[in-house]
Amino acid sequence: MSDALELHWTDGGDARVVKTDGNFATLHSTRQAATGTPLSATVSMKSGTSVRFKVKDCRRLDEGLFLLVGRWVDLSKAMREEIVAVDKSDT
Mean pLDDT calculated for residue range 51-58? 97
pTM for the predicted model, two decimal places:
0.89
- For residue range 17-40, what is the model confidence (pLDDT) as tens digits? 999 999 999 999 999 999 999 999
Name 41's bridge partners. Answer: 9, 51
C-alpha to C-alpha distances, 72 to 39, 41, 62, 64, 65, nearest whole angstrom: 10, 11, 25, 24, 20
How would residue 90 be classed by pLDDT, with cut points 50, 70 and 90? low
The phi, psi pair for 78, rounded to 5°, reads -65, -40
Average pLDDT of the chain is: 91
